[in-house]
Amino acid sequence: MLSITKTIIKTRQASIALQAATDKQIKKTLNDLAAALLQHSVAILRANAKDVAKQDAANPRTDRLLLTPARIKAISDSIKKVSRLPMPGGKSLDRRVLKNGLKLQRITTPLGVVAAIYESRPNVTYDIAALCLRSGNACLLKGSSEADNSNKAAIKIIKQVLTDNGLPADAVNLLPSARETVNHLFTATKYIDVIIPRGSNGLIEYVRKNSLVPVIETGAGVCHVYVHEAADLEMAANIVVNAKTSRPSVCNAMDTVIVDRSVAAEFLDILAPGLKEKGVIAYADKTAYAVLKNKLTVYKATAKHYATEFLSLHCAVKTVSGIEEALKHIQTYSTRHSEAIVTSDKKLAQQFLRTVDAAAVYHNASTRFTDGEEFGLGAEVGISTQKLHARGPFALEKLVTEKWIVEGRGQVR
């Protein structure tokens, strides 16, 4: 696997050359890439068809792998959007003159080399490449073997556009999809600045466990909506149904609804039809089970259910004596992604927003809004569930590091 090490080093060298690229050059490159996607859509679809043919059509994963003319158009549009975002590097964060006359500046600069490890969606290849180029970073892409043909078609187009625009072709490299590839990334601390795993918990755990290169984790969300006794119960039911069912397979979907026991019967009566209509299956504690049993498919909940990110139309239901118990439940099971309270008690809402330790905390709104585009940050690499560097939507603005520039006239200490 000497060739992988070589590719990693070439990508590092390209990242240095990339620093000399002008803003205009990068904008044009991204626009050209957006156009090239449409122009080469037949070749892209043909490569993708080879990948899809190997899969079981009935498996929902196959749909994630599939490209269509409409999906290619959407990727192309998204690249155009990224091209219009401002370069996050070169921003002055701080500027001061010290007593000894030293002139200090703290500026943002590209990270250097970003490595992404992801699963079958072929759009990720284009998305990460576009975000990295826009922020002046070179990138190493490691997709899954299922998308091999699609990714190879993508990288061919990307490299051609880079070359046509006078940028180093090695600024974006696709690595072999074989699993052992990742081990070469994990030890390349001299050449790679950050590794971003996108996908299942298993993948993220594996990367966290084995990488010596700093990792930004994106993903897993065990998210709660807490319905307080002073909530507008219609609003609460509407929020819970939306948070659970509008897109159950994503990380900001609700997993557990928590409700004050004093309003549990009334609230669950209002909630049940909405969940039933969408085909939701619930795991409820004793109190909630008694209310729900004739209104919904419902099973008894165990601790395991409360710790589960369902990514499906399943959810857990928990009744509590009040906010203290609700906060304790969230503290125990939350993965610190997105947490919501529904209440008309403003003081209590503030307590919740202040106390809950999560990337995004909501009052009277659905957890489904945790997203770079929704928050107005533009396309995102993922939702970070850790606390360092980037928390919540991990967008362009965080694909940079800082650097202190110190200018003197011979000062010594």
Q: Which residues bind its own copies (CB under 8 A)?
A: 16, 19, 96, 98, 102, 104, 111-112, 193-194, 208-209, 212, 214-216, 232, 235, 238-239, 242-243, 246, 331, 349, 353-355, 357-366, 368-370, 374-376, 386-389, 391-392, 401-413
Nearer to its own copies, 60 or 410 (CB): 410
Residue 267: C-alpha distances to residues 128, 313, 356, 382 (Å) = 43, 19, 23, 34
Burial of 190 (0-12, 13-18, 19+ CB in 10 A): exposed
Question: DSSP letter string over 211-266?
Answer: -SS-B--B----EEEEE-TTS-HHHHHHHHHHHHHSSTTSTTSEEEEEEEHHHHHH
Min dist CB 389 to its own copies, Å, is 4
Nearer to its own copies, 193 or 255 (CB): 193
Min dist CB 327 to its own copies, Å, is 9
Burial of 104 (0-12, 13-18, 19+ CB in 10 A): middle
Nearer to its own copies, 68 or 331 (CB): 331
Angle at 154 between CA 148 and CA 160, to 5 degrees: 135
- Sorted by sequence, the CB contacts under 8 Å of residue 146 that are 6+ apart come out as 51, 54, 55, 61, 65, 119, 120
Residue 389: C-alpha distances to residues 173, 185, 220, 392 (Å) = 25, 20, 18, 10
Min dist CB 381 to its own copies, Å, is 13
Nearer to its own copies, 66 or 358 (CB): 358
Nearer to its own copies, 144 or 367 (CB): 367
Min dist CB 31 to its own copies, Å, is 26
Give 173's DSSP letter. Answer: E
Q: Torsion over CA of 389, 29, 219 and 327, rounded to 10 degrees?
A: 50
Nearer to its own copies, 75 or 233 (CB): 233
- Sorted by sequence, the CB contacts under 8 Å of residue 294 that are 6+ apart come out as none
Nearer to its own copies, 286 or 376 (CB): 376
Min dist CB 57 to its own copies, Å, is 30
Residue count (the chain): 413
> What is the widest separation between alpha-carbon atoms in the chain?
82
Min dist CB 378 to its own copies, Å, is 14
Half-sphere exposure of 26 (CA within 13 A, CB side): 26
Min dist CB 334 to its own copies, Å, is 10
How many other CB atoms are found less than 10 A from the CB of residue 168? 20
Q: Which two tokens stand for residue 113?
A: 């080399």
Min dist CB 105 to its own copies, Å, is 9
Nearer to its own copies, 286 or 409 (CB): 409
Min dist CB 47 to its own copies, Å, is 33
Nearer to its own copies, 38 or 203 (CB): 203
CA distance linking residue 201 with residue 204, whole number of Å = 5
Min dist CB 397 to its own copies, Å, is 10
Nearer to its own copies, 264 or 358 (CB): 358
Give the containing element (helix H, strand E) for 378. none
Give the type of residue at 303.
A
